[in-house]
Chains A and B, each alone.
Chain A
């Protein structure tokens, strides 16, 4: 027993090292550029793939070939990081932080397809490390010596980073820029060079982390997102911007994982979740993190006045609704299915908008509630034998309850911290659906989630969906203009003032979080019945990003934006999937271009254009 505990402990410490390399890179980049690099997991994956190729080419048997390959892989990933910074990020440092996150997610998509094209869909196994093929006897069990080497890498890199930041000019500049970017700029330091070098350095750390995993585990195309979710947890627990905190948290999470596999092999992430919850209750900004300086008011641009729709806009909305209602008369069943999905996604987007727009709370994990709605419906059908009607009624409550529990933690944070935490929660929900095979069927999902007999015809189900979604969207819209919606907006505009006039900002945000989750659950439940099945992908990160894109595409500051965005985005991506097998690359590229061209979204951009035109009118 004792030796089992010890080996698991060492196992955990070994995986902590790679986690730490990636997390410290993310933290350093964030400290200087204020960008949370979503693509950091992709850089980690690239490091692993490049190492497979390079080590294979140099000869895995010779120490020089192996270690040379590993180091060269890390170096190349650093170069790739520099290219990403110069080509993409440099253009968007002034954009709102959410758009920066989105742009880096565009990079994630592009890298996924590049890796698929270069290395193919099969998992790759790396060679063992020369000189570390033996085992060490610890108590009575054999322990791979490479693991011991990895355990040493963590503190070694931590020490090197400490030396770099305390004893070199470049490190001093990085620390100075982390504390006060503007001041460093004012002192005549070339910021462009500093940002680029920091990004390259952080990328190389991630690449090294990936390359070092080579002898331990298979290299797969899923490494990017699973790693980034874990790294977000590490960074949230350790404290964003603290390298020491990142190490502490990486060890904590790594060891927890190792023991979780022993205790709850089905739901290891639940343990991690519980620890994260405890840390955040005690220290909201992580073990070694500090409360971030409040973002300057107006940094994201002055909020426009939010006014109810003009009679013209209301007429346009009514016309669109009538047009949709007439659709079953004119289009085929296949098109009707697409339209059903579009309507569902419009509700999904509108639910996220309530949080993001009036609430000012960015969620990178809204798919969790969509997916829980879908699973709620499917589980009710499969395990309770419920027909569609009660399942549709019950399912949103599963999402709503998750929103209440997760939201309680999330509203304690703000900005990118909150975005990372929502993503971590979504990943936990996803992992539960994926790992708890007995309940959820795991990767195979749950099949046979069909509507009741009366609602089976495509047109009937379309009308049912349209009625529920339109009513829900209108209710959400009403919420935005209600006292609660105003209180929510008050908390976003000026928490200081809101509290000083008696508004409990956190509770209002919590309520909005739960409402948004519930509404997303309605959309998810409908989606389950329209597809007839549910899969873990419903709660995966790409679905969360779908929601974000729909909202941002339409414009965060407008109420009609998310609905317009949903139609534009789903329409676009459906066409893309039909057109090219590399649709992820194309979509990623489109995201990057959109972010740089329309930082206000489509409807937001239109409104701004209209304002400019109107302002120009008297002059004519």
Chain B
């Protein structure tokens, strides 16, 4: 990745809760079009790390730079405006709206039109919303309520919402949690395809090692708040330190 300015650059990120150092001294870069996996056992600090990048938590110290400008401590809505799309570990969508309206809402907000108190919202950005839904394979279900969708479908809707601001960076916290194995591979293949086609940097956490080794260009391993490995999947897989603290002796283990 040398020579190209990274999309996201994280330096010496740290966060403590009371006396617990959840994240300390974490530094890494993500380049455009790169799929970067952040893995580690439960309690390693993945979600804390993610919430600091997404603005849900403010870091105690450290720098977070998006396209050359600092976003450390910025609010989630400001980070969205700077071109970051976000999906959550437990899907967060608008249950009283249809699938199409969910994406329309994101597009309306992106276009700065959310303060309009009079125009009918359903007529806004219909084509763009449907194009995004087609991209994630949810166009057939555009009219259904989000409250009644299957979980795997909700994950796709979330992806479409996260893509609505034409992001330069996608933050995906456990994008395949709760999905069937076949669905997982399909969803991440879709994400990888979109990331490559639109040069979006993707940072994701994941428990399923099959997904990680199939789709990540690079893997970061977090253990007790510290980064213990950073490299291509095969190197990380064979890293003795990683095997010891994370994978255990059997490389089929899934973050027990």
Taking beta carbons and an 8 Å cutoff, which residues of A are in contact with B?
Answer: 297-298, 302-306, 308, 475, 478-479, 481-487, 489-490, 492-494, 496-504, 508, 511, 515, 557
A492 to B56, CA, bound (A): 18
Contact A494 B93 (CB under 8 A): yes
Does B16 have its Cβ within 8 Å of any Cβ on chain A? no
Contact B97 A500 (CB under 8 A): no
Contact A487 B147 (CB under 8 A): no
A595 to B252, CA, bound (A): 54
- A488 to B: closest C-beta gap in Å: 9
Report if A483-B96 is in contact (Cβ < 8 Å); known contacts: A303-B147, A305-B147, A501-B80: no
Contact A500 B54 (CB under 8 A): yes
Instruction: A304-B145, A489-B94, A501-B164 are known; give 11 further A-B pairs, CB within 8 A.
Output: A297-B95, A478-B118, A483-B113, A490-B94, A497-B94, A497-B161, A498-B94, A500-B86, A501-B106, A501-B109, A503-B114
Q: Which residues from A are CB-within-8-Å of B36?
A: none
Does B176 have its Cβ within 8 Å of any Cβ on chain A? no
CB-contacts of B36-89 with A (<8 A):
54-56, 75-77, 80-81, 86, 88
Contact B116 A305 (CB under 8 A): no
Contact B109 A487 (CB under 8 A): yes
Contact B76 A499 (CB under 8 A): yes
- A611 to B: closest C-beta gap in Å: 12
Q: Which residues from B are CB-within-8-Å of A303?
A: 95-96, 147
A487 to B115, CA, bound (A): 8
Does B98 have its Cβ within 8 Å of any Cβ on chain A? yes
A308 to B118, CA, bound (A): 14
Contact B121 A485 (CB under 8 A): yes
Contact A493 B96 (CB under 8 A): yes
Q: Which residues from A are CB-within-8-Å of B118?
A: 475, 478-479, 482
Contact B121 A482 (CB under 8 A): yes
CB-contacts of B119-133 with A (<8 A):
119-122, 124
Does B138 have its Cβ within 8 Å of any Cβ on chain A? no
A494 to B109, CA, bound (A): 15
A504 to B77, CA, bound (A): 7
Nearest residue (CB) in A for B80 is A502
Report if A500-B98 is in contact (Cβ < 8 Å); known contacts: A479-B118, A482-B120: no
A492 to B93, CA, bound (A): 11
A479 to B117, CA, bound (A): 5
Does B148 have its Cβ within 8 Å of any Cβ on chain A? yes
Picked from A305, A478, A486, the residue with its CB within 8 Å of the CB of B105 is A486
Contact A497 B93 (CB under 8 A): yes
Q: Which residues from B are CB-within-8-Å of A487?
A: 105, 108-109, 114-115
Q: Which residues from A are CB-within-8-Å of B145?
A: 304-305
Report if A500-B96 is in contact (Cβ < 8 Å); known contacts: A478-B118, A479-B118, A487-B109: no
Does B92 have its Cβ within 8 Å of any Cβ on chain A? yes
Contact A500 B94 (CB under 8 A): no
Q: Which residues from B are CB-within-8-Å of A504?
A: 77
Nearest residue (CB) in A for B120 is A481
A489 to B124, CA, bound (A): 16
- B153 to A: closest C-beta gap in Å: 15
- B166 to A: closest C-beta gap in Å: 13
Picked from A481, A486, A494, the residue with its CB within 8 Å of the CB of B92 is A494
A493 to B115, CA, bound (A): 18
- B42 to A: closest C-beta gap in Å: 21
Contact B81 A502 (CB under 8 A): yes
Contact B76 A500 (CB under 8 A): yes
Does B9 have its Cβ within 8 Å of any Cβ on chain A? no
Does B110 have its Cβ within 8 Å of any Cβ on chain A? yes
Does B24 have its Cβ within 8 Å of any Cβ on chain A? no
Contact B110 A306 (CB under 8 A): no
Report 18 cross-chain contacts, Cβ distance below 8 Å, ordered by A residue.
A297-B95, A298-B95, A304-B145, A481-B120, A482-B121, A483-B119, A483-B124, A486-B97, A486-B105, A486-B108, A486-B121, A492-B96, A494-B93, A496-B56, A496-B88, A500-B92, A501-B110, A502-B110
Does B165 have its Cβ within 8 Å of any Cβ on chain A? yes
A273 to B80, CA, bound (A): 37
Picked from B75, B116, B147, the residue with its CB within 8 Å of the CB of A484 is B116
A308 to B92, CA, bound (A): 24
A300 to B41, CA, bound (A): 34
Picked from A306, A484, A498, A557, the residue with its CB within 8 Å of the CB of B115 is A484
A497 to B91, CA, bound (A): 9
Q: Which residues from B are CB-within-8-Å of A503?
A: 77, 109, 114
Picked from B94, B101, B148, B164, the residue with its CB within 8 Å of the CB of A494 is B94
Report if A493-B148 is in contact (Cβ < 8 Å); known contacts: A308-B122, A500-B76: no
- A215 to B: closest C-beta gap in Å: 49
- B81 to A: closest C-beta gap in Å: 5
Contact A496 B117 (CB under 8 A): no
- B37 to A: closest C-beta gap in Å: 21
A284 to B113, CA, bound (A): 30
Nearest residue (CB) in B for A507 is B115
A297 to B94, CA, bound (A): 11
Nearest residue (CB) in A for B90 is A297
Contact A305 B92 (CB under 8 A): no
Q: Which residues from B are CB-within-8-Å of A496?
A: 56, 88, 92
Picked from A306, A475, A498, A508, the residue with its CB within 8 Å of the CB of B96 is A306
CB-contacts of B5-54 with A (<8 A):
54
A502 to B80, CA, bound (A): 6
- B5 to A: closest C-beta gap in Å: 24
Report if A302-B148 is in contact (Cβ < 8 Å); known contacts: A493-B97, A494-B93, A496-B92: yes
A423 to B165, CA, bound (A): 40
A502 to B101, CA, bound (A): 16
Picked from B76, B77, B81, B117, the residue with its CB within 8 Å of the CB of A482 is B117
- B85 to A: closest C-beta gap in Å: 8
- B138 to A: closest C-beta gap in Å: 16
Q: Which residues from A are CB-within-8-Å of B119?
A: 482-483
Q: Which residues from A are CB-within-8-Å of B165?
A: 501-502
Q: Which residues from B are CB-within-8-Å of A493?
A: 93-97
Q: Which residues from A are CB-within-8-Å of B101?
A: 486
Contact A490 B105 (CB under 8 A): yes
Contact A484 B86 (CB under 8 A): no
A302 to B94, CA, bound (A): 11
Contact A302 B81 (CB under 8 A): no
Q: Which residues from A are CB-within-8-Å of B115?
A: 483-484, 487, 511
Picked from A305, A308, A511, the residue with its CB within 8 Å of the CB of B97 is A305
- A188 to B: closest C-beta gap in Å: 29
A337 to B92, CA, bound (A): 49
A490 to B105, CA, bound (A): 8
Contact B161 A302 (CB under 8 A): no
Nearest residue (CB) in A for B78 is A502
Q: Which residue of A297, A305, A503 has the most chain B CB atoms within 10 A of its CB atom? A: A305
Q: Which residues from B are CB-within-8-Å of A484?
A: 114-117
Report if A508-B114 is in contact (Cβ < 8 Å); known contacts: A308-B122, A489-B96: yes
- A359 to B: closest C-beta gap in Å: 12
Q: Which residues from A are CB-within-8-Å of B94?
A: 489-490, 493-494, 497-498
A475 to B86, CA, bound (A): 34
Contact with A along B133-176 (1 / 0, CB 8 A): 00000000000010110000000000001001100000000000
Contact A497 B77 (CB under 8 A): no
- A480 to B: closest C-beta gap in Å: 10
- A427 to B: closest C-beta gap in Å: 30
